[in-house]
């Protein structure tokens, strides 16, 4: 992307960004509607509905990303009516752009803008290497959470309904046939304890790669085909496993399980801050 285009994107999307009292950024749906070239709220609201479905499919509460912000507006003669609106998170804006009319140039600009801004928030390689192992784990765990949100949204668009099967397909490829339950048992985890919370930075890194590469391939899938999407997840996991083997790396199932889970690290950090 050239500098002029990036500056243009920044000017149009940053100009309508708001910051609340807690320092959180948000966009109003009505303002984003105009920026994305939708003249009718009805059509734009349909896009929002699709984006909310994708959000829920990513196991993220849509109500937290799409916050109702209805307001009363004047319609003349001292009369008013309620106007529907939302306060949108950056992730909500991203999902709206992904579900918008891709033929619109403004939609294409929005897609690249929100993707670029997300990448800019990531650490540089040099900064990452300066982190402690616990800090690396926290960073990689956030990447898996954010990546899975997007991956499951795309998978739903491609026809996936059985998300347990879809998820396990990726693990089976990467872990030589092991499902999520198999991994949890091998690690000696308690019931419903998250396996990703109990991985070291190297193991999390392999899973980040699995997630992002599956996402990229599913984007290219033209039809809604659950079997194809699930098989793609397996193939990606298996390909990453083969790459690790060819490089002489340690297989993910042979990497040690950290003594502390991510949740325990977060609790320790919270105590230190207090």
Cα–Cα distance between 258 and 203 in angstroms, integer? 11
Domain extents in the chain: 3-116, 131-273
Q: Which residue has the tokens 């980040």?
A: 208
Residues 176-194 pLDDT 10s: 999 999 999 999 999 889 9
Average per-residue pLDDT for the chain? 86
Give the pair of three-digit tokens for residue 202. 């190297």
Q: How confident is the model at residue 148 (pLDDT cuts 50, 70, 90)?
A: very high
Residues 46-105 pLDDT 10s: 999 999 988 887 667 888 889 999 888 877 777 788 899 999 988 888 889 888 877 777
The contacts of residue 228 (CB under 8 Å, 6+ apart) are: 158, 221
Assess whether pLDDT exceeds 70 at residue 8.
Answer: no
DSSP state string for 16-41: TEEE-TTS-EEEEHHHHHHHTT---H
Assess whether pLDDT exceeds 60 at residue 273.
Answer: no
Helix (H), strand (E), coil (C) string for 212-255: HHHHHHHHHCCCCCHHHHHHHHHHHHHHHHHHHHHCCCCCHHHC
Average pLDDT over residues 132-139: 90
Cα–Cα distance between 103 and 32 in angstroms, integer? 17
Residues 13-52 pLDDT 10s: 888 888 877 677 889 999 999 989 899 999 999 999 999 9
Q: How large a percentage of the chain has pLDDT more than 90? A: 50
Q: How confident is the model at residue 255 (pLDDT cuts 50, 70, 90)?
A: very high
């Amino acid at each position: 992307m050239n500098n002029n285009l990036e500056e243009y994107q920044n000017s149009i999307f940053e100009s309508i960004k708001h910051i609340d009292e807690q320092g959180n950024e948000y966009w109003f749906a009505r303002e984003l509607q105009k920026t994305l070239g939708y003249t009718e709220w009805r059509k734009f609201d349909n896009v929002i509905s699709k984006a909310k479905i994708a959000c829920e499919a990513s196991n993220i509460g849509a109500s937290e990303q799409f916050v109702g912000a209805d307001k009363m507006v004047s319609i003349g003669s001292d009369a008013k009516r309620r106007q529907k609106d939302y306060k949108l998170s950056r992730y909500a804006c991203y999902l709206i752009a992904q579900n918008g009319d891709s033929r619109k140039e403004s939609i294409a600009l929005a897609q690249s803008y929100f993707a670029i801004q997300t990448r800019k928030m990531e650490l540089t390689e040099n900064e990452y290497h300066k982190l402690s192992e616990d800090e690396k784990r926290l960073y990689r765990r956030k990447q898996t959470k954010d990546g899975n949100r997007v991956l499951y949204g795309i998978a739903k668009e491609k026809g996936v309904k059985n998300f347990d099967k879809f998820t396990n397909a990726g693990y089976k490829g990467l872990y030589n046939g092991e499902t999520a339950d198999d991994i949890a048992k091998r690690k000696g985890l308690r019931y419903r304890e998250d396996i990703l919370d109990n991985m070291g930075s190297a193991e999390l890194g392999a899973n980040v790669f699995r997630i992002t590469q599956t996402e990229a391939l599913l984007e290219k899938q033209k039809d809604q085909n659950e079997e194809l999407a699930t098989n793609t997840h397996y193939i990606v996991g298996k390909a990453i496993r083969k790459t690790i083997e060819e490089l002489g790396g340690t297989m993910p199932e042979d990497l040690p399980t950290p003594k502390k889970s991510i949740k325990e690290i977060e609790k320790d950090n919270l105590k230190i801050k207090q």
